[in-house]
Structure 1
Amino acid sequence: MSLPLLIVVFLCQSLRVSAADDHVSNKPEAVVVSKIKGHMNTNSSVRDVLNHPSFKGFGQFILPLDHRAYDENMQLSRVGSLLPYHSHVEPEAVVDTINYMIDQMAEGKIIFYSFYTERQKQEYPAKRNTGIFFFKGKHGAPFAIVCPGGGFSYVGSVHEGFPHATQLSRKGYNAFALQYRVGGEQRACEDLAAAISYIFKNAVSLGVSTKDYSVWGSSAGARMAANIGSYGPSGYGGYDLPRPRVVVMAYTGHSSFTRNDPPTFVVQGDNDGIVNVSTVEKRVDAMRNAGIEVEYHKYRNVSHGFGLGIGTGAEGWTESAVKFWEKHISE
């Protein structure tokens, strides 16, 4: 074979290899990581979470880092130190939900969606720090969107976002945990409104029902949930959509409401060093006097930011919240 012909053959083979590489790189990421296992444990480090291949592109949102100083060598057994406004943080529960997400990715499911367009992110770069984690339930079941707290300075998803969404998913409901911009209540509510609008727009492809959806929130996240309950997504720049069928609120001093607020489920610890319990109870009483259905639970010797309340008198409160929601889901 002549030298020129050899060169032509080599170039053709190279082009075929290059085309094959391009084809592989364009596959959905969920397919690429579908065979990855690699569970975490309490001895795993922050670095392990950030670099886990299942979380490529959004690993920075798993833990409440939010541009704060942190030690990548820190073990997950000390994850509570990343959540200064929270209490009763159980490392085992944190690891369980992280591993649940790893398992979902191993099954080829997509668990993270960005609800802002690339143009919106270019216009407002901080919007890159947003998204929704999807904990899939039964196809066509109603959805809940969960807003973790953190004083609008961090997003405590590992303690009061992912665990709640995991429980809802295991009960057959579709659940989303919101990653929102820190820095203020207004922008966080705008992100929540945008996320709900995205879910409604993509309900068919996501496999969720938009009827009787609920919004859950804890601490700062409960303020967000209450605001959407009062004014709907359109009140914060979202689509003109129905308000949530039910709002679930945990430990917040949010005091305002409207007479059109949906039925509301409220939980509070009596040993809260951040929220004034009397403020919570005044709002509950005022809402009831306005004809709004409110179910209120106060737990003894429980402090602020208790999450699922594991090991406290509040443990199991999410079961009651689900029953409250189910009571208002239309047949």
Structure 2
Amino acid sequence: MQHNVGEGHPECPARLVAIRDQLIASQLFDFLTEVEAPVVSDEQLARVHAPRYLEYLEMSLPLAGTFRLDSDTAMSPGTLIAAKRAAGAVVRAVDLVCSHQAPNAFCAIRPPGHHAESAKAMGFCYYNNLAVGVRHAQFRHGLERIAIIDFDVHHGNGTEEIFRDDPHVLMCSIFQHPFFPYCGDAPLGENMVNVPMKAGSSGADFRKVVQEQWWPRLTAFDPQMIFISAGFDAHREDDMGSMGLVEADYEWVTRELMRFAAEHCEGRIVSVLEGGYELSPLGRSVAAHIRALSDG
């Protein structure tokens, strides 16, 4: 909540308030176990990010006001502790799921992470939270095949850059194209299943991609764990993009992933909040996502 780069910025503290409020209103919150996020360790960050980049972020942190890393991405005094807890949340979620203390987990975190590359902040992202969790699952828990699902309206360029040509990781994504960050249509590696979608694409279009392009690759890969970059800005009410998904689409894909995970990877799923900036559809979509995750 202390990561706040100015009034009017879409990636604002109110996003987490909207999610919690909707979970309470939907009578889901009392059935969930809430775990406080720890601070990620330097070692865990260094598995993903270059040392000079990590030093640059520390040196750029302002004592007051904001410091702009690029036209979209700024830092406030509370940014890095929030970012370190966001990455730490994914690490903690991995530990809980891999040790069977939780069947799955949703990380309600900010700032998001999937645009952060190994040595570059962009798109409101500083550390690649999901990538830190994936590396932790590999190094700490010995997992050799991990699938990443990204349904944010923006392409997860940072995640793709970090895991390009990694035979132990398969990334399946949809994203509006052409659109920020204006890449992804030409995959960086054979392990990337990038599916650009036109503005105005519907839930039916999305479901067709999942069934016809994601499932064959996922089935052949046979992952031991699934990570979800859960961005909800492809919702038709979110002005950040121009796609037409609704809550039912997010619930559907989550239930499909739950079914797949039960068959292939002992149900292990860690979902990580990315985008979603219109507060009401964000809250409703996350509630639908969590309802599906908790029904397993």
Query: Same fold per TM (> 0.5)?
Result: no
Which of the five TM-score ranges fits, normalised by the shorter chain?
A: 0.3 to 0.5
Normalised TM-score (structure 1): 0.38
Q: Which has the larger radius of gyration?
A: 1
TM-score (norm. length: structure 2): 0.42
